[in-house]
Amino acid sequence: MKLSQVKNDWAPLFSEFFQSEEGQNLERFISTLDEENTYPKAVNIFKAFELCPLKKTKVIILGQDPYHGPNQAHGLAFSVPREEKIPPSLRNIYKELHEDLNLPLRDTGDLTHWAKEGVLLLNTVLTVEPRKAGSHQKKGWEQFTDFIIKKTSDHDSAKVFILWGSPAQKKERMIDSSKHLILKSPHPSPLSSYRGFFGSQPFSKTNEFLSKNALKEIKW
């Protein structure tokens, strides 16, 4: 499988990573993948970066790996195409959004508008085999997302990093906490959401931080 090229201001960072030994190892792994048995489609693997250029990135929401059901994954963490049923984790995210900001519950799981608002919807692993959760972990994607998070942290403006679940929270060491806001909570999955995800108020806390740093709030 061949990856599509990212052509905005992420491109130099992609080039830097994929020229490294770790990047070449990941590229070799990707080349072995069968597109028919990989989610999301190759054209969508880097969609989060295409929709949210680095210079516009104000918030990074970290997930785990893509949805492994048919037609669900489309390159944005937690998001599904408009015509697909809203997954349980995203339904819980919407419930928290409703409680936090009193916004109406959504009837579509497509989060493209968040990406265009400056929210980088990034999974820690960017591909998966159908119906095999976690199947592409420890294949090199973690090194790529470590690199991206570190570079995003080093970028000029203050940002909010929202880390849901333990795989995302392992990335905290890449982030400069003196410069950025780091929000951590359990994953919004039905298995863990009641352990502290509900009531964590990530959306209002994000906008409060952005406002204090003279940045435009996210229209969630």
Please identify every residue annotated as catalytic: 65
Structure tokens at 63: 């997930």
What CA–CA distances, in Å, run from 41 to 72, 92, 115?
Answer: 10, 26, 18
Q: Report, in angstroms and rounded to the nearest whole number, the Rg of the chain calculated over CA atoms.
A: 16
How many Cβ atoms from other residues are within 10 Å of residue 81's Cβ?
16
* Kind and range of the H or E run holding 141: helix 141-154
State the first-to-last Cα distance of the chain, in angstroms, to the nearest integer: 35
**Which residue type does 106 have?**
R
C-alpha to C-alpha distance for 50 and 4, rounded to whole angstroms: 10
| Ramachandran sector of residue 77 (left: φ over 0; alpha: ψ -120 to 50; beta: rest) | beta
Strand 181-185 with 160-164, pairing: parallel
Cα dihedral 27, 31, 37, 43, rounded to 10, equals: 70
